[in-house]
Every structure is written in C-alpha cells, then in structure tokens.
C-alpha cells in the first residue's frame, strides 16, 4: 500500500544560492543557483487514446508550427528549467524520452516498448494535481529537451489525456575551481546531483555552448569537465 503522505514537489525545487551538479557524458557541470522564477503549463492536452492505443507520435510539448517553441526547453542559454509533471486520467501510462529517442526507465539492455510494463509513469503515481512523482523530475538546458508518449492500457477509449507541468526557471553561475568541484561531487557540500538523460549506455552529451562556457578562460592544461569525471571515479 502506498504511503498517504508524500514529499511535495514544491519542497524539491531549488532556492537561491543552492548548489546543482548536472551530469553529462562529457563531465559534471557544477553550478550555483542565482535567481528563480515560477512557471507552469496546465493543462497540456495529448488528445484522445483508443482502447489499448498510443499516440500517433511522441509529443514534444511545443507551440504550433512554424514557431514550434518547446515549453520544456529554456529559450535562453542563461536559464535552466526544473520541471515536475502529472497526468490524468490515472490509468494512462506516460513513457518519457530524454533526449528524444532515448528512453528512460528501461530495466533490460533491449529497448523499452511503449505499452509494455517497464519504464512508464501513470496518473496513479503522479496525478494531474499532485503530488508529482520524483520520477517525473527534469532539468533542461538550451538545446536539450524531452518528448512523451502515452498509452491506454484499458479496453475503453480515453477522451482526452492531459498533463500538468510545474516549473522553476533558474539563472546560475558556473563553478570551475578544483576545490569546489571536489567538495560538491564528493559529498562534502549539500548539492543536488542530477544525471542528464539515461545512465546507460551513457548520459547525454553537453551542448557545445555549455561546454565552451565551462572550459573557456581556464588555465592551460585544466579542464573542469575532465576533472569532474576524475573526482567521480575516485582519481581526483
């Protein structure tokens, strides 16, 4: 039986001055949150689902063409988005991919299948009005965003699947000093660590603009990203 009381997603958003480490294939980007602003998208309609049916294609949660702006991707490089989501009706299964074509929540080396019993979040675990499941937590930066598929496991059609996104927008400072990186990643400081995308076979790659922002201006021979990987492997 599930616990009646759950931690609210409201308590999981970061405050000004909090430390955040985002893990990419290239290394960990260590940050200090500067300012934050609330935002939300409610409701977002995925549309109808036939009995035992799924969407015709994955939904990128974006405005209509030609603009096609993605709500879950920061519109500027100076922002990080922190998002939780819920869904209704409760029986509908949501299968997230982050980045697109990279399934989250797989348990085997084979690809997760939509409609299967692995790698989904449903409205019973993350209801539309909350409390949202920790499994729905997303950090996104410019040029990195998710997509979603929905599946109806029942023998009755679903008229309208709706999602609710709660979000905080953060401005940030990049931290590159060796001592700070080691203290953050080795657990000597209170820090939120988040792996970007899947853990296997590898996390997502850094967008070029963020990689350049981390390594530019560093002393010759020092790469904060490589050093962060050394710290996490016990070599730093």
Domain locations in the chain as residue ranges: 9-232
Q: Is the pLDDT of residue 164 over 80?
A: yes
pLDDT score at 8? 81
Average pLDDT, integer, range 222-226: 97
pLDDT score at 3? 47
pLDDT score at 5? 54
Note the pLDDT tens digit of each residue in 75-114.
999 999 999 999 999 999 999 999 999 999 999 888 889 9
pLDDT confidence band for 185 (50 / 70 / 90): very high
Taking the CB of residue 76, how many other CB atoms lie within 10 A of it? Answer: 8
Residue of 199, 84, 73 whose CA lies nearest to 134: 84
């Amino acid at each position: 039986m599930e616990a009646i009381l759950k931690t609210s997603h409201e308590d999981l958003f970061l405050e000004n001055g909090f430390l955040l480490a985002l893990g990419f294939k290239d290394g960990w980007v260590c940050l200090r949150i500067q300012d934050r602003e609330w935002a939300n998208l409610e409701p977002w309609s995925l549309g109808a689902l036939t009995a035992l049916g799924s969407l015709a294609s994955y939904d990128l949660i974006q405005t209509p063409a030609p603009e096609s702006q993605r709500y879950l991707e920061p519109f500027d490089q100076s922002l990080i988005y922190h998002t939780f989501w819920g869904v209704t009706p409760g029986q509908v299964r949501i299968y997230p991919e982050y980045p697109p074509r990279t399934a989250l929540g797989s348990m085997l080396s084979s690809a997760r299948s939509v409609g299967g019993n692995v790698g989904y979040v449903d409205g019973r675990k993350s209801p539309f009005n909350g409390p949202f499941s920790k499994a729905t937590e997303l950090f996104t930066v410019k040029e990195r965003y998710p997509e979603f598929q929905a599946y109806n496991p029942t023998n009755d059609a679903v008229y309208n699947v709706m999602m609710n996104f709660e979000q905080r927008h953060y401005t940030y400072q990049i931290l590159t000093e060796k001592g700070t990186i080691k203290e953050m990643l080795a657990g000597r400081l209170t820090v939120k660590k988040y792996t970007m995308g899947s853990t296997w076979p590898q996390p997502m790659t850094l967008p070029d603009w963020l990689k350049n922002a981390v390594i530019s201006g560093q002393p010759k021979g020092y790469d904060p990203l490589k050093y962060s990987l050394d710290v996490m492997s016990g070599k730093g």
